[in-house]
Structure 1
Amino acid sequence: MAKRYIILDTETTGIGEEDRVIQLGFIVLGEREIEVQNEFFSTSVPISFGAMETHGITPEMLDGKPLCKDSTSYRRLNELNSDENYLIIHNAKFDIDMLQKEGFKTQMRVIDTLRVAKHLLPDEEAHRLQYFRYKMELYKEEQKEADELNIVIKAHDAIGDVLVLKLLLSRLKKLVLEKFPNENPVEKMVDLTLTPIMIKSFNFGKYRGKTLQEVATSDAPYLRWMLTNMENLDEDMRYSINRLLSN
C-alpha cells in the first residue's frame, strides 16, 4: 500500500486531564489523491472559557454532533493507522495524548513540526504555528490552498491550522534538504522528532533570560530542585539540565 501523510490538528474543551476532543481536522496526502476530514463532536465535558477564547467553538456548535469515537473522521483515522503512514502534527504530544483519551493509539510514524522547527531554527523567538504563519508569510499562500481543498480558513480552527501546517511542512522540508542534503527529508524529520533538544536559556521563572550554563555555574541546587519538584517539566528542559549537571 502506498504511503500516506496525515496532517492533523484537534481542538479541545481545554488542556486538563479531564478535557476532551471536540474537533478533529486532518488532510490525507496520497500519491494521487488529497482527502480532507473535518468534524465537530459532542462531549459531556464543558468547554472552558479559555479554550472558547482560543478556538471560538461554543456549546451550541456541538449540539447534535456525534461523540468523537462514533464519528466518521475518527473511524477514518483508525483506518489510516498503520506503520507505513506518517502522522504530522505541530506539538504532537498534546494532540496524541488527547486522542488517546478517545481510545486512539497511533501506529504511524510521527513528525512533530514543533520539534523539527526547534532543531532547524533554534534562534527563533517562538516556534508556535501562528508565529510561523506570519514570519514565513504563509498567510499569503493559504487562501489559494484553501480554495483548492474547499476549506474555510478560521484562525485556530483545527482544519484551518492543518492548512497552515501543510504549508509549514513544505518549508521545513526545504530546510532539511539544505541542512542534510544526503538524507531523506521525511525520515530525517521523523529522526529530529525523536532527538532531544538542548535548550540554551530560560524563558520563564526567576532566571528568565539567563543561559542554563550560567545557572548551572551559579545555582546548580536550583536546577536539581527543578528536576525533583517540577512534575510537568518540559522533557527537553529535563534533558538539558541533566546534561549540564552530569558535565
Structure 2
Amino acid sequence: MIKKYIILDTETTGTGDFDRIIQLGYMVLGSKEIEIHNEFFSSNVPINFAAMEVHGITPEMIEGKTACKESISYKRLLELNTPENYLIIHNAPFDIGMLEKEGFKTQMKVIDTLRVAKHIFPDEEAHRLQYFRYKMELYKEEQKEADTLGIKIKAHDAIGDVLVLKLFLSKLKEIILNQFPGENPVEKMVDLTATPILIKSFNFGKYKGKTLQEVALSDAGYLRWMLTNMENLDDDMRYSINTILGI
C-alpha cells in the first residue's frame, strides 16, 4: 500500500477547552496527484474576538455550514487514518487535540514540524511557521506553488498555512539529510517529534535570559522547587532540569 502524507492545519473558535474547529485544511501527498481539502464548519461555540483577529473567520462565513464531523473533509481524514500514513502538523498537540473533540483518534505516525524545528534550530529566536516563512524566504516560492495547486494564499488560513508548511517540510528534509546522513528523513522527523527537547535557557520568570546551567550552579534549589511544585511544568523543561541536575 502506498504511504500517504497528510499535511494539516485547523482554524478554531479559540484555544480554550471548549473551543472547536471551524476550518480544516489539508493536502494528501504520496500519489501522482495532490489531494486538497479545505472546508469551513458551523459551531455552537461562538468565535472569540482574539481568534477572529488571527484567522479572519467571522460568524457569517460559517453560518449554515455543515458540522465538522459531518463534512466530506473530516470523513476523508478518517479513511486516511491508518498506521502506514503520516500526519504532519506545525504544533501538532493543538490540532490533534481539537480533532479529538470531534472523535478523531490518530492512528497515523505524527510529525510535528514545530518540535523538529526546535531540535534542529535550537538557537533560533522563534519557531513559528510564519517566522520560517520569512527566514527561509518561502514566500518567494509560495505563489508558484499556490497557482499550481489552485490555492489562494492567506496568512493564518488553514489551507494557506498548509501550503507554507509543505514548503517548510521540504526545507526540513534537506537539512535533516545533511545533519543525519544515512537516515530516512521522514522517519527521523517522526523520531525527533517524540524526542524530548533539551532547553538551554529560561524565557520566563526571575531567571529569564539565564541558562539552566547557570541557575543550576547558583540556585539549584529553585530548579528542584520547580520540579516539585509546578504541576503544569512543560515536559521538555522538566526533562531539561532533570538532565542539568543529573537526576
> Above 0.5 in TM-score?
yes
- Whole-Å separation in 2 of the counterparts to 1:225 and 1:38: 46
Query: What is the number of residues matched between the two proteins?
Result: 247
- Whole-Å separation in 1 of the counterparts to 2:18 and 2:224: 30
Structure 1 gaps of 5+ residues are none
Corresponding position: 1:39 with 2:39: yes
Three-state SS of the structure 1 residue aligned to 2:146 is helix
Please tell me the residue identity of whatever aligns with 2:81: N
Alignment partner, residue 232 of structure 1: 232
Three-state SS of the structure 1 residue aligned to 2:153 is coil
Query: Per-residue deviation at 1:230?
Result: 3.2
How is 1:1-247 mapped onto 2 (pairs within 5 angstroms)? Answer: 1-247=1-247
Structure 2 gaps of 5+ residues are none
TM score, norm. by length of structure 1:
0.97
- Whole-Å separation in 1 of the counterparts to 2:232 and 2:98: 16
Query: Per-residue deviation at 1:233?
Result: 2.5
| RMSD, matched Cα | 1.1
Three-state SS of the structure 1 residue aligned to 2:7 is strand
Three-state SS of the structure 2 residue aligned to 1:36 is strand
User: In terms of mean alpha carbon deviation, does 228-237 or 90-99 score higher?
Assistant: 228-237
- Whole-Å separation in 1 of the counterparts to 2:15 and 2:212: 28
- Whole-Å separation in 2 of the counterparts to 1:51 and 1:221: 39
Deviations 1:42-89 (CA, angstroms, capped at 9, x unpaired): 111111111111111111111011111111110010000000100000
Identity over the aligned pairs, expressed in percent? 78
- Whole-Å separation in 2 of the counterparts to 1:101 and 1:231: 24
Please tell me the residue identity of whatever aligns with 2:45: V
- Whole-Å separation in 1 of the counterparts to 2:55 and 2:29: 25
Query: Per-residue deviation at 1:206?
Result: 1.7
User: In terms of mean alpha carbon deviation, does 168-177 or 22-31 score higher?
Assistant: 22-31
- Whole-Å separation in 1 of the counterparts to 2:226 and 2:130: 30
Deviations 1:173-194 (CA, angstroms, capped at 9, x unpaired): 0001001111111111111111
Three-state SS of the structure 1 residue aligned to 2:25 is strand
TM score, norm. by length of structure 2:
0.97
Query: Per-residue deviation at 1:244?
Result: 1.9
Deviations 1:203-244 (CA, angstroms, capped at 9, x unpaired): 122211100111122222322333334333222111111222
